[in-house]
Amino acid sequence: MRQAAAMLPPMKILPALLALGSLVVVSAPAVAASAGPRFYGDPPDDHHPWAVHDGNRPQPKTVVPGTFSTPDKPGKPPSDAIILFDGTDLSKWQTSKGEPAKWRVVDGVMEVVPGSGEIQTKAQFGDCQLHVEWAAPKEVKGDSQGRGNSGIFLCGGLEIQVLDSYNNLTYADGHAGAYYGINPPMALALNPPGEFQVYDIVFRRPVYKNGQVLDPGYVTVFVNGVLVQDHTPLEGPGGHMGRTKPGPFPEKGPLRLQDHGNPMRFRNIWYRELPRRAVEGGTDGYLTQEATMAKRKEIAASIREDAARLRNPANPMPEMQRLLESLVYEKDATAYQKAEQMGNQYVASVKALPADKLAAKRDEVKGLNDVYRYLARWKIIPADYAPKVAVEALIKEQGWDKKK
């Protein structure tokens, strides 16, 4: 209960506690109860398979955060990062022909050997959060695109430009942090040459279905913590001189680093895989009606299974509550009838109790009443649902509706 309350803004705590207070008594397994309230926020609808604040919704995975880099020392990646270069060797990299990468590793840093060609990861991946650190030579040579040039090519071939843009004029869509040839960075936020620069990139591939775009794909880039690409929609890979058009990308591809003839250095390269978006089968976000209904069915089925596991004739409440919960997601006829039957039996059995034992059921019965009220409010059960009417009558009869 404490956990659930901690997730809510202060103003919402009171009603949450009230809702939980009634549920803790009614409620079923300890694990389920601790995940959050039930019969509380607005229920699932045509585009959201979960209720608002849904206690059945899966918990996000836990990630142990890493540490930030300093000029002298790379930071530690988060716990779920897939490491592409940690300063030791190029075992995760190869040439475009699949041969061993020919760049140098010196003092925990990999360095372009000019003329040796680009290198690419053996790993293939698509949507990602990508972290790359790079440094241009301290001694400035050349200018514009000839100075401190490399590039980070994501799946589908788009280049996030790596360039020593520190006091260096060049075309805007070719600066450090540009979606090269397509969108300039919103700012030039570089450290002086020789110092490391930190790129954090969020990449979402375009999603197409039957030739129709469902999501154009986006790239977001931070350079040294400064936002330079803000969810920029993709328009193909971009490139030198040619204008590219939006279109599908491969699902996965290697990450490539460019050899543009400058001895650029890289360190601390890692990525995290991102969950699927709603348009590609993910179940968070605004879903199609079809996907929502499919997910609601699945949730309902798993709750019904849980209800069956809780079956206990001596204490029918946990099973009944889970069955009622399942109706929020899918009005399965069998579950509906069973819950109604159990409700009728429950009220009859409570009413048959001797006075002292009946009095002890007060909170449980009132909790069930709250559940019925929620379900009736959202038309999941009718207002004249027999067990609801019976529970209301019992509460009135016993004076449990009055303040003590």
Nearer to Mg ion, 259 or 325 (CB): 259
Q: Which stretch binds Mg ion (CB under 5 A): 148-156, 291-299, 357-365, 369-377?
A: 148-156
Minimum CB–partner distance for residue 100 and Mg ion (Å) = 23
Q: Please give the backbone phi and psi of residue 363, each rounded to the nearest 5 degrees, phi first.
A: -65, -40
Nearer to Mg ion, 33 or 158 (CB): 158
Minimum CB–partner distance for residue 255 and Mg ion (Å) = 14
Q: Which of 364, 379, 135, 112 is nearest to 260 (CA)?
A: 112
Nearer to Mg ion, 40 or 180 (CB): 180
Nearer to Mg ion, 259 or 306 (CB): 259
3-state secondary structure of 404: coil
Q: Which two tokens stand for residue 378?
A: 């959202």
Q: Is the dihedral of CA 49, 331, 351, 308 positive or negative?
A: negative
What residue number has its CB nearest to Mg ion?
Answer: 151
Minimum CB–partner distance for residue 231 and Mg ion (Å) = 22
Using CB under 5 A as the binding rule, the residues of this chain from 84 to 103 that contact Mg ion are none
Using CB under 5 A as the binding rule, the residues of this chain from 235 to 264 that contact Mg ion are 258
Minimum CB–partner distance for residue 36 and Mg ion (Å) = 48
Minimum CB–partner distance for residue 171 and Mg ion (Å) = 12
Minimum CB–partner distance for residue 170 and Mg ion (Å) = 11
Using CB under 5 A as the binding rule, the residues of this chain from 277 to 316 that contact Mg ion are none
Q: Which two tokens stand for residue 366?
A: 């009132």
Nearer to Mg ion, 149 or 170 (CB): 149
Q: Is 293 left (phi over 0), alpha (psi -120 to 50) or beta?
A: alpha
* Burial zone of 130 (CB within 10 Å; 0-12 exposed, 13-18 middle, 19+ buried): buried
> CB under 8 Å to 36, separation ≥6 — which residues?
4, 7, 53, 54, 55, 57
- Residues touching Mg ion: how many (CB under 5 A)? 3
184 in contact with Mg ion (CB under 5 A): no
Minimum CB–partner distance for residue 79 and Mg ion (Å) = 32
Among 43, 55, 126, 151, binds Mg ion (CB under 5 A): 151
Give me the DSSP letters along 284-348. Answer: SSS--HHHHHHHHHHHHHHHHHHHHHT--TT--HHHHHHHHHHHHH---HHHHHHHHHHHHHHHH
Q: Which two tokens stand for residue 210?
A: 């039957």
Residues within the interface to Mg ion (CB under 5 A): 149, 151, 258
